[in-house]
Each structure stands twice: as structure tokens, then as C-alpha cells.
Chains A and B, each alone.
Chain A
Amino acid sequence: MRGRTVLYVEDNEYNRKIVRQLFSRTSYRLIEAIDGEAGVTLAREERPDLILMDVQLPKMSGLEATRVLKADARTSDIPVIVITSFALSGDREKAAEAGAASYLAKPYSPRELLALVRQYLPEPDNPSGGDK
């Protein structure tokens, strides 16, 4: 299981940069998509081990993309963490309904995000260049 691959679907460049830089010190391989459709295509091609899915995305919403991935046999077993910036009650339920494994509210702390990723994809004892 070399190079655990994480797919981050997010349209904001700076947020992708944060995660890119956060993951640069870890053993995870990060692949990125900037909209829901691209996210689904990339997930089918690359078969990542974990998907971080923003809710508010162009072309196809994160929840819709999650539903599509969960309905597809090739990608249905990949856990999806939904990241939402709507602090509306019911978002958690909508995420769970779409098939998300977990839910994270924006703005998230990079530390919290990494902790959540590690929960799903434990790193080997000696990650290359980890900050810990």
C-alpha cells in the first residue's frame, strides 16, 4: 500500500494550496480536482484511498458527486469526507445521506483535517518529513 493517495476536490486555489503544503510533509500522495465532475472522473481513473470533497463546487455539487461515486461499484468503497461551509443544521444529515464517511465544517483547522485523514489512513511510523 505504498503512497496512500488522497483526492481533494476543491475549487478554491488557496485551500488546495493549504492541503498541498500540509500533505507535503506527510507520506500521502495528493491529487486534486477543481469541480465535481473532474473529481468523479479522477476518482474513477486513480481509485484514491480517501476523498476530501468540498460541498460547494462548480458543475456538480460535492454531495451529488459523492452520491455518484457511492453508486459506482469502482469507487463505492472509497471513504469520502465532506467539507461544508454551510453551517446550516441538517448539513451533517445530508452528507451522511449522500454516503459520506465523515463531515468537516469550514473553516477547518489544518491540524484537525490531518488528524481526520490519519484516522482513515494511518501513516507508517516514520513518515517522510512529518512535523512530528
Chain B
Amino acid sequence: MRDARDSVESSVPNRSPTELREVELERLAALVQNRTPIRRLVRWVAGIRASVHTKLLAGFMVVALLFVAMAGVSLQTIVSATHQAQLLDAAHEQVSWAEQGEQALARQMHYTDLALLSQSEAAIAKILRENNRFNDMLAKLDASGMTEQGLLEQVRLSQDEAMGVVADIANAIRDGKIGAVTGLLLQRQEHLDEEITSRVGRLVEAERSRMTRLRDSVSAANRRSLILTAGFAVSAVALALFCGFVISWSFILPVRKAQRFLDQVAAGNFGRHISVANRDELGVLAERMNHMSDELHRFDSEQRRASSELVRLNDQLALASKAKSEFLANMSHELRTPMNAILGFTEMLLDGLYGDIPGELREPLADIQVNGRHLLHLINDVLDLSKIEAGRMDLALGEYSVREVVDVVHLSLRSLAAEKGLEFKTSVPDDLPPAYGDSRRLAQCLMNLAGNAIKFTRAGRVEIGVELAGDELVFRVADTGIGIPKEELENVFAEFRQVDTTVTREFGGTGLGLSITKKFVEMHGGRIWVESETGKGSTFLFAVPVWVKQEAA
């Protein structure tokens, strides 16, 4: 019962006084089970193949039967006490008869003496009367089944002899010769008297002592029945306690075990088994709990397998992602190296490094250069987008001047706008605070938007503007170009989309610029949108925080 004691001791703190008393009781119960073989009995009771209901009923029945037995014993005691009392009464009567006999005998002797002295026949009649009384007494004693039959017989013989003497006296009186025989008869009479008196005295004594013995045995029987009754009561209580203890602990033990087991399950130790001695409802419950534990274990290990599989897949994905990044880096190198040669040679040709070039070659050479740059632009866009989508694009955050960003874009696109005869303006407030973000990527965004605006505007103007709205910077690129139909507005930021294919043919472009711009703006924690009307022009706007949060990047 070590376990139970442990659990009791561990749960001692923070108990109310009543609970503490219970704890004390439990400690006692544990001690009883530890020090005695009761524990084995408890296990045996638990192992009985019967329901809890049956066991409880059996326990109560044992106690009830004990009480029935006790009632039987009490009844028997009462019957025997009554019998003893009757015996005692009978003994009493015999003693009194014996005493009456004694008195009758005394009177008979007295009258015999009187008859001898007075020599009258009247005394003889009295003697006979007393003799009858005496005989009556003897007959009663004899009928009552007294045990001293020998003594009774002797008394009877002596009495007969005495009556012989009386007869002699009576004859002598009648014959008138009493005077001659008085001395002799008196002598005989005295002798007989003594003998009878002593015998009757012994008889009376025997009856008295029989009564005393009977009285003693009655009081002994009373004592015995008292002890028996008390013993039965005590043992009934003890047996009731014992049955209660054994039966209740045969239930408490598995419940305790189940509690500990469930604690283990709750702590996540699945697959363990509980083993209880019980073969009743509690045993069935334990089996169910084992089944539950097995199922939990199965689910748990499946879950673990699945999660380790997920981890493995995740690792594979990470590897694949790394491979993709490496591929991108390599592609970047592999594509740029020949581009470097193409653009380098073209530039050197156009710069006259190889000598003057004929006029008719200048235009195709310039075309090569423009298309080469366009191809490079495409490559850059595709690689940028791939990197963004692979999550490998990191912003290089730093403090920047909004005006400088706008100026850089204006400077690089100024000649393009001028070639098309477009008005190209910027408007940046003077009082803008210093901003924090990736200025190169923001410039790229503006470059994409303004480049598009110039591309899609045949006449009119393109304007880059910036406004401070709360803690956001709103960049705006407005043009007076062809505009975007309403139904196409939501698609403009999708990859590889242009308003229609004829536009692509006329204006060129990769269709990636806007989606890259959108991604960069979103990486800054900002948003982008467009307002447009077909034929009148478009305004692209994006808002980014003045001070980009580190984790947003």
C-alpha cells in the first residue's frame, strides 16, 4: 500500500481540518493494510468475479446473517433460562416437601412418645395421620423424580420399621400390657427415631444442596448467555467494519490507481496500461481505460510520425528553396555574363573604340544596344520577381531623402520624356522629414510607374508628386495617356498583364513592372492603387510609411 500512502502524504498540504481528519483516517487505513494480510484479502475480494452490486449485497448479508444468528442464540438463552427457572421451582418444591415430611416425622415421633407415655389409642390415630402425611411427602418426592432414590428407600424402610413399633405399641395398649413393654418399645423407638431423623435430614440436605447447585448453574448460564450476547454484538460490529473496510478498499484501490493512471494520461504518457485486481465493473473500466490509452498512443504516434514527416518535408522544401535561390543566383550570373559582352562590345563600337563606324551601321548598332538593354531589363525583372516570390528578396533599409529619390528618377527619364515631347515635372514639398526605407527599391518603383506613364502617353504631360499624409508618404505618378478601361483596372498589378496585346506591340514592356512595384510597396508595409479613365490618363499612387518598421521589411 506504499502507493496509497505516497499519494496521501503528497496531498496533505492545503487541507481543511475535516479533510485533514480524513487524511488521518486514510493514513490509518493504509497502515492497517500494510501491517496485516488484509491487503491480500482486499485483492482477493477485488478479484472475485462479481459485480459491485453483488459484493455490496454480500457484505450486508454477512452482517445481517450475523444478527440473525445472534437473535437465535438469544432465543436459545431465553428458553434455557426458562427451563432452569422451572427446575429451580421444582427443586424448591421438593425441598419444601422434604421439610414438610421432616415436620410430619417429628410430629409422628412426638405422638409415638405421647402414645407410650399416655398409653392412649387417640395418640395412635394421630401417629397414623402424621404417618400418612409423611408417606404422602415421600410419594411426591418419588414422583418428582428426585435423584436420591437409595436414600428415599432407606427412609421408607426405617419408616416401615417405625410403623411396626407403632403397631406393637397399639397392640400392647389394646392388650393392656403396655406397662411391661414400654421400656423396650421406647428403646426401639428412640433408636428408630434417630435413624429416620438422620436419614430424612440427609434427604432434606440433599435436596437443598441440589437446589443450591441448580441456582449456581442458573446464574452461570445467565453469565454465559450475557457474555455470548456481548461477544456476538462485538463481533457483529467488528465483522461489519471489517467487511466494509475490505469491500470499500477493494473499490478504492482501483479508483486510486485509475486516478494516477489518468494523471499520467493527462500528462501525455500514452500507451501505458493500468492493471487492477478487480473483475467487476471497475475491472471493465480499467480495460476500457487501457483501450483508450492504446488508442491515444496510436493517435499520438501517428501524429508524431505525421509531424516528423512534415518536418522532413519542410526540410526538403527548405533545401528546394535553397536550390532555387542558388539556381537564381547562377542564372543571374549566366545571363548577365553574355549580356555584359553584348552591351560592352556594342558600347565600344558606338564609342568608336574600333575606329569610325559607317553612318548606316550606327542605327542598327543603336537598335542592338536598345534591345540588349531591354533584354537586360526583362532579365532583371524576372529575377527580381522570382526572388520576391521565393522570399529571398530583402529590403536594404536605410534613411533616405524623398527628394533625392524623385530627382534620380526624374534625371534618368528626363531625356526619354523629352524625346517624346512630353512635359515631365516633379512636385516634392520642401518640408518633408527624412524617411526610412529601401531607397533603391522605391526609386525602382517610381521608375517603373513613371517609365510606364511616359511609354503610354503620346502627348501631354507626366508628373511625379509626393505628399505627406499622417505618417505615410503618398507617391503619385499622373499622366495624360491612353488610360485603362474600368474592367481592366483590377488586373493591372497582376503579372504578365497588359491592357491588351496590341498595347504590348506598340509600347513594349514586360508586364512585370507593376507587379514588382506592388510587391516592393507591400514589402514596405504600404499599398498601391490606380485611378484612371480611358482616353484621359491614369494616376498611379502608392503609400508607404515614412518610417518603415524593421520587421515589415
What are 10 contact pairs spanning A and B, CB under 8 A?
A12-B337, A12-B338, A12-B340, A14-B345, A18-B345, A56-B333, A85-B340, A89-B396, A106-B336, A106-B340
Name the residue of chain B whose CB is nearest to the CB of A108.
B340
CB under 8 Å from chain B, chain A span 70-97: 85-90
Instruction: Choose among B336, B354, B387, B395 the residue that contacts A85 (Cβ–Cβ < 8 A).
Output: B336
CB distance from B106 to the nearest CB of A (A): 150
Is B332 a contact partner of A85 (Cβ separation < 8 A)? yes
B-side interface residues toward A, CB under 8 Å? Answer: 329, 332-333, 336-341, 343-345, 347-348, 351-354, 376, 380, 383, 387, 392-396
Q: In the complex, are the beta carbons of B348 and A21 less than 8 A apart? A: yes
Residues of chain A within 8 A of B338, CB atoms compared: 12, 14
Q: Report whether B351 and A111 are in contact in the complex, using a CB–CB cutoff of 8 Å.
A: yes
Asked if B383 contacts A87 (CB within 8 A), the reply is: yes
Question: In the bound complex, how far is the Cα of B383 from the Cα of A131, in angstroms?
Answer: 36
Q: For residue A88, which residue of chain B has the nearest CB?
A: B329
- Closest Cβ of chain B to A48, distance in Å, is 21
**CB-nearest residue of chain A to B373:** A107
Q: Are A87 and B341 in contact (CB under 8 A)?
A: no
Q: Please tell me if the beta carbons of B348 and A86 are within 8 angstroms of each other in the complex.
A: no
By a CB distance below 8 angstroms, the chain A residues around B387 are 88
Q: Is A22 an interface residue (CB 8 A)?
A: yes
Whether A21 lies near B353 (C-beta < 8 A) is yes
Q: Which of A17, A87, A90, A111 contacts B380 (CB 8 A)?
A: A87
Structural contact, A25 and B383, CB atoms closer than 8 A: no
Please determine whether B344 and A18 come into contact, CB atoms closer than 8 angstroms. Answer: yes
Q: Is the CB of B336 within 8 A of A107?
A: yes
Interface size class on chain A is 20 to 34
B512 CB to nearest chain A CB (Å): 15
In the assembled complex, the CB of A81 is this many whole angstroms from the nearest CB of chain B, namely: 15
Which chain A residues in 91-132 approach chain B with CB under 8 Å? Answer: 106-111, 131
Verify A110–B396 contact, CB threshold 8 A. Answer: no
Besides A18-B340, A85-B332, 16 other CB < 8 A contacts? A12-B338, A14-B338, A14-B345, A17-B341, A18-B344, A21-B354, A22-B348, A22-B353, A85-B340, A87-B332, A106-B340, A107-B339, A107-B344, A109-B343, A109-B344, A110-B344
A41 at the interface (CB under 8 A from B): no
Give complex CA distance A109, B380 in Å.
16
The distance in angstroms between the C-alpha atoms of A86 and B347, with both chains bound, is 22
Interface pair A131/B352, CB less than 8 Å apart = yes
Closest 7 CB pairs of A and B: A107-B340, A14-B341, A85-B336, A18-B344, A85-B333, A106-B336, A89-B396
B347: contacting residue among A56, A89, A110, CB under 8 A: A110
A108 CA to B338 CA in the complex, in Å? 12
Q: Separation in Å of the A98 CB from the closest CB of chain B?
A: 17
Whose C-beta in chain A lies nearest to the C-beta of B342?
A: A107
- A117 shortest CB reach to chain B, Å: 14
CA of A131 to CA of B336 in the docked complex: distance in angstroms?
A: 27
Closest to A56 in B: B333
A contact residues around B394 at 8 Å (CB): 89-90
CA distance A89 to B393 in the complex (A): 8
Task: Specify the chain A residue showing the minimal Cβ separation from B384.
Answer: A87
B354: which A residues are within 8 A, CB to CB?
21
Give chain A nearest CB distance to B33 CB in angstroms: 73
CB-contact partner of B340 in A15, A25, A89, under 8 A? A15
B329 touches A131 (CB 8 A): no
B329 touches A86 (CB 8 A): yes
> Looking across the interface, which residue of chain B has its beta carbon closest to that of A55?
B333
A14 to B333, CA, bound (A): 14
A54 to B20, CA, bound (A): 83
User: CB-nearest residue of chain A relative to B335?
Assistant: A85
B520 to chain A, nearest CB (A): 12
Contact B337 A15 (CB under 8 A): yes
Write the nearest CB–CB distance from B438 to chain A, whole angstroms. Answer: 8
Q: Chain A residues with Cβ under 8 A from B344's Cβ?
A: 15, 18, 107-110
* Cβ–Cβ < 8 Å partners of B393 in chain A: 89
Contacts of A12 in B (CB 8 A): 337-338, 340-341
B353 touching A109 by the CB < 8 A rule?
no
The listed residue with most A CB atoms (<10 A of its CB), out of B336, B340, B395, B396, is: B340
Contacts of B396 in A (CB 8 A): 89-90
Which B residues touch A88, using CB under 8 A? Answer: 329, 332, 387, 392
